[in-house]
Structure 1
Amino acid sequence: MDASPLTGRIALVTGATRGAGRAIARELAAAGAHVYCTGRSTRTQGSDYDRTETIEGTAELIAEAGGTATAVAVDHRYRSQVESLIARIESAQGRLDILVNDIGGEAYVDFDVPLWDYDWEQGMKLFDTGFVTHLITSHAALGLLSRTPGGLVIEITDGTREFNARQYRSTVFLDLTKTAVDRLAFAEGHDLKDRGGTAVSVTPGWLRSEMMLDGFGVTEENWRAAAEANRGREDAVPPYDFVISETPALLARGITALAADPQREEWNTRSTSSFELAQHYGLSDVDGSRPDAWSFIAALDSSSADEIDIADYR
């Protein structure tokens, strides 16, 4: 295979500060794309996430690996900032080939709170950050992206279309946010089809991001042992099903393979997962495994942990 299959392509990855967004930006750049990395956290001004990662840090990691990236501070909740970003890309590059919308908003979730008790401002902050940012960015970017046949839009969500159709995602605001992102990809795919473009909804599995590791108080060295120790325990931290977790690299590798696939239009309007992409393109996570998180979680819903062999799902 061509080591740089995306040479000449221009990509925009939103939420590229950390986690999946950072990994996706790095993989796209490693494949030859010029990647615009956006987010709110910079060296001079952080976000309310209060994390140390920055968009400059992402761009530097790409440059150190021999890739090309441009870090731009953007709050995608504001149309004016996003429109200025797209105008900048158009002026500098004259095209946009790949858009990855990866702003999640999970930091604003209050789990298991019924709608009538949910703080309205907090709920709308989740919805605006996790969904409206995607809508604003696509509205501004798809005119430029659709000028060149072969454009690709990736909407990152949580849960496959099939899984979310039968599962309630803990709170109304979270449930609507994640299912709306998937529906956005479905709708965008219809708009882009006649322009030779493709839109796909993609979910990671149990994502082992920096924030998740810190939230559970574990490290990349001990996360699995900590999760295994909680087999059969209710409300344990980390929960037992964290044993099926994956690094952001698995999702990033699958998206990059999809972007490089000349037959990617076959995925248009679909919902897929990091596991399905890895299986289709013959990819694995950094440890050589291929975690099938959504099948594992579904199996746990119908069987006890002692009846399931984790090896069957990695």
Structure 2
Amino acid sequence: MARTSTEQVAQPGPAERPAGALDGKVALVAGATRGAGRAIARELGGAGATVYCTGRSTAGSPSDYGRSETIEGTAQLIGAAGGTAHPVVVDHLDAGAVRDLVDRIEQEQGRLDILVNDIGGEAYVEFGIPLWDYDLQAGMRLFDAGFRTHLQTSHAALGLLARTAGGLVVEITDGTRAYNAEHYRSTVFLDVTKTAVDRLAYAEGHDLEPFGGTAVSVSPGWLRSEMMLDGFGVTEDTWRTAAASNRGTPDAVPPYEFVISETPAMLARGIAALAADRDRSRWNTRSTSSFELAGHYGLSDVDGSRPDAWGFISALETTPAGDLDVDRFR
């Protein structure tokens, strides 16, 4: 049985962090309880930023995800990395609560330099159901969690962020703009949600440009998060062997494509490097990936690899798995 603690997700070491590169910066990471959001908050804090990390799961009061990770646990990881963390329990579907959060940041810090919108809603996805048979309430729950949270948080926070030139907004989505333009993402609600998040970053970039700000959408590859490991019934020690053994077996769990998965650390390292880049405006309105950011900034995952998940998944569409050199995508 897969563990549900943070131990199963490989954690980045301090060597690859741009120590001090974000000193004096203030960041808000929405959806920082686990997975990518937790890793991003940890990296930003380790690089010197003061990080407000939000989520719904707190000690003694878990969210409906039913997970063991808490926002306090994320704050502890940031502290262990040498950073300053402010864990705040916020439901980002509550516009008033989000406004109160931004007001608090303004009162306590007087500025906001980095906003990362990472709430995904993937736990609410139902696959293989056409739109007309999809439960509308369930579909809207996915859309609200995966997109409306981003929109409401940006609506509340961008006024403060735009006061200081050089602000950065990162919208975390699933799939790059180029990939999603050519691929249907399994269900209408998931497809619309993830492409809407990318378009939000594109639009935000246009609004922020006159104020010296940058907005970008970033997609990880196949993320080896706590929830994904548990969902596939594997651990950090067994995932590669389990996925490789399913080559050529349709609908296997975990799927063969999971051999080119990545830990949340690679995405987090790329975003921390982007935030520290004085020329980050070159990324404004763009869609990018953890793989592209890692290549641009010379970064890797915790094991030294640089997985190209989207390249691998695309290659499998035209080339039999047995004919692909897996190592070429690591």
TM-score past 0.5 threshold: yes
Q: Identify the residue that residue 305 of structure 2 maps to in structure 1.
A: 289
How far 1:85 sits from its partner (Å)? 0.2
| 1-structure distance, mates of 2:177, 2:83 | 34
| 2-structure distance, mates of 1:111, 1:312 | 30
Please list, as runs of the form range in 1=range in 2, the aligned pairs for 1:50-199 lying within 5 A after superposition: 50-199=66-215
Matched-pair contact (CA < 8 Å) for 2:33–2:70: yes
| 1-structure distance, mates of 2:18, 2:155 | 33
- CA-to-aligned-CA distance 1:210-239 (integer Å, 9 cap, x gap): 000000000000100000000000110000
Matched-pair contact (CA < 8 Å) for 2:18–2:273: no
Matched-pair contact (CA < 8 Å) for 2:38–2:74: yes
- CA-to-aligned-CA distance 1:177-215 (integer Å, 9 cap, x gap): 000000000000000000000000000000000000000
Q: Identify the residue that residue 274 of structure 1 maps to in structure 2.
A: 290
Q: Is 2:324 aligned against 1:308?
A: yes
Q: Identify the residue that residue 42 of structure 1 maps to in structure 2.
A: 58
Q: Helix, strand or coil for the counterpart of 1:91?
A: helix
How far 1:106 sits from its partner (Å)? 0.3
| 2-structure distance, mates of 1:152, 1:271 | 14
4+ residue runs over 4 A deviation: none
How far 1:2 sits from its partner (Å)? 5.8
| 1-structure distance, mates of 2:70, 2:110 | 27
- CA-to-aligned-CA distance 1:285-309 (integer Å, 9 cap, x gap): 0000000010100000111100101
Amino acid of the residue matched to residue 151 of structure 1?
G
Q: Identify the residue that residue 271 of structure 2 maps to in structure 1.
A: 255
Q: Identify the residue that residue 220 of structure 1 maps to in structure 2.
A: 236
Q: Helix, strand or coil for the counterpart of 1:13?
A: strand
- CA-to-aligned-CA distance 1:43-64 (integer Å, 9 cap, x gap): 0311010000000000011112
TM-score, normalising length: structure 2: 0.94
Greater RCO, 1 or 2 (C-alpha within 8 Å, sep 6+) = 2
| 2-structure distance, mates of 1:90, 1:302 | 51
Q: Helix, strand or coil for the counterpart of 1:69?
A: strand
Q: Helix, strand or coil for the counterpart of 1:202?
A: strand
Structure 1 stretches of 5 or more lacking a match? none
| 1-structure distance, mates of 2:187, 2:252 | 20
Superposed CA RMSD in Å reads 0.8
- CA-to-aligned-CA distance 1:49-92 (integer Å, 9 cap, x gap): 00000000000111122210000000001100100000000000
- CA-to-aligned-CA distance 1:9-30 (integer Å, 9 cap, x gap): 0000011000000000000000
- CA-to-aligned-CA distance 1:126-181 (integer Å, 9 cap, x gap): 00000000000000000000000000000000000000000000000000000000
From 205, 219, 226, the equivalent of 2:221 is 205
From 309, 314, 324, the equivalent of 1:298 is 314
Matched-pair contact (CA < 8 Å) for 2:165–2:213: yes
| 1-structure distance, mates of 2:191, 2:203 | 18
From 19, 22, 25, the equivalent of 2:41 is 25
| 2-structure distance, mates of 1:248, 1:63 | 18
Aligned residues: 314
| 2-structure distance, mates of 1:207, 1:170 | 17
TM-score, normalising length: structure 1: 0.99
Q: Is 2:20 aligned against 1:4?
A: yes
Matched-pair contact (CA < 8 Å) for 2:58–2:89: yes
